[in-house]
Amino acid sequence: MTALGSPARTLRGLLRELRHLSAATGRPYRDTAAYRYLMKAFRAHQVTSEKLCRAQHELHFQAATYLCLLRSVREHMALHQEFHGKGERSVEESAGLVGLQLPRQPGGKGCEP
Amino acid sequence: MWRSCLQLWDWGPRLLKWPLGGPICSVVPGPIPQLRARAYAPPKERKRFYQNVSITQGEGGFEINLDHRKLKTPQAKLFTVPSEALATAVAMEWDSQQDTIKFYTMHLTTLCNTSLDNPTQRNKDQLIQAAMKFLDTDTIWVEEPETLVELQKNEWDPIIEWAEKRYGMEIGASTSIMGPSIPAKTYETLASHLASYNMWALQGIEFVVAQLKSLVLTLGLMDLRLTVEQAVLLSRLEEEYQVQKWGNIEWAHDYELQELQARAAAGTLFVHLCSESTTVKHKLLRE
User: Mean pLDDT over all residues of chain B?
Assistant: 78
Q: Is residue B88 part of a domain?
A: yes
From the list B45, B27, B33, B17, the residue with the least C-alpha distance to B113 is B17
Instruction: Using the Cα atoms of residue B191, residue A64, residue A44 and residue A34 in order, give the sign of their dihedral.
Output: negative
Residues B98 and B221 occupy one common structural domain: no
Residue pair B64/B55 in contact (Cβ under 8 Å)? The answer is: yes
Cβ–Cβ below 8 Å for A65 and B96: no
Residues B152 and B225 occupy one common structural domain: yes
Residues of A whose CB is below 8 A from B41: none
Strands (E), B204-250: none
Residues B85 and B179 occupy one common structural domain: no
| pTM given for the model | 0.77
Q: Looking at the DSSP assignment, which residues form a beta bridge with residue B47? A: B100
The Cα B141–Cα B243 span in angstroms is 21
Q: Is residue B3 part of a domain?
A: no
The Cα A41–Cα B87 span in angstroms is 15
Residues B64 and B129 occupy one common structural domain: no
CB crowding B89-116: b at 16 or more within 10 Å, else e: bbbbbbbbbeeebbbebbbbbbbbbbbb
| A88, B51, B63, B127, B163 from B217: Cα distances, Å | 38, 40, 32, 17, 9
Residues B172 and B229 occupy one common structural domain: yes
Query: What CATH number is associated with residue B80?
Result: 3.30.2180.10
Report ipTM for this prediction.
0.77
Q: Is residue B32 part of a domain?
A: no
Q: Is B254 on the interface with A (CB under 8 A)?
A: yes
pLDDT at B262 over 90: yes
What percent of chain B lies above the pLDDT cut of 90? 22
**pLDDT tens digit sequence for B165-224:** 888 877 766 666 666 777 788 888 888 888 889 899 999 999 999 999 988 899 989 988
pLDDT score for B17 = 45
First to last CA, chain A: 63
The Cα B56–Cα B65 span in angstroms is 7
Which of B55, B64, B94, B96 is the mutation pick for testing A, counting most A CBs within 10 A? B96
Closest partner residue to A58 (CB to CB) among B2, B84, B224 is B224
Please give the torsion angle defined by the CA atoms of residues A19, B258, B89 and B216, in that order, rounded to the nearest 10 degrees. -140
Domain ranges of chain A: 7-84
Angle between helices B228-235 and B215-222 (to 10 degrees): 170
| Residue A99, min C-alpha distance to chain B (Å) | 24
- State which amino acid sits at residue B193: H
Residues B111 and B141 occupy one common structural domain: no
Q: Is residue B43 part of a domain?
A: no
Q: Is residue B11 part of a domain?
A: no
Residues of A whose CB is below 8 A from B54: 33
Q: Is residue B228 part of a domain?
A: yes
Which of A73, A91, A111 is the mutation pick for testing B, counting most B CBs within 10 A? A73
**pLDDT tens digit sequence for B227-245:** 999 999 989 988 888 898 8
Residues B270 and B155 occupy one common structural domain: yes
Query: What CATH number is associated with residue B147?
Result: 1.10.3580.10
Chosen domain end from B57, B87, B117: B117
Residue B34: enclosing H or E segment and its boundaries? none
**pLDDT tens digit sequence for A19-64:** 888 876 777 888 788 888 888 888 877 655 455 567 778 888 999 9
Residues B153 and B280 occupy one common structural domain: yes
Cβ pairs A/B, distance under 8 A: 98
pLDDT at A2 over 50: yes
Residues B110 and B128 occupy one common structural domain: no
pLDDT score for B43 = 58
The Cα B287–Cα B269 span in angstroms is 29
Q: Is B237 on the interface with A (CB under 8 A)?
A: no
Chosen domain end from B94, B117, B140: B117
Q: Is residue B95 part of a domain?
A: yes
Residue pair B106/B98 in contact (Cβ under 8 Å)? The answer is: no
Residues B192 and B71 occupy one common structural domain: no
Mean pLDDT of B266-285: 67
Cβ–Cβ below 8 Å for B272 and A37: no
Cβ–Cβ below 8 Å for B2 and A113: yes
pLDDT at A94 over 60: yes
By residue range, what is the domain housing residue B85? 49-117
Residues B257 and B193 occupy one common structural domain: yes
> Which positions 56-85 of B are in contact with A (Cβ < 8 Å)?
84-85
Residues B109 and B155 occupy one common structural domain: no
How many domains, chain B?
2
Nearest CA in chain B to A19: B96
Residues of A whose CB is below 8 A from B2: 113
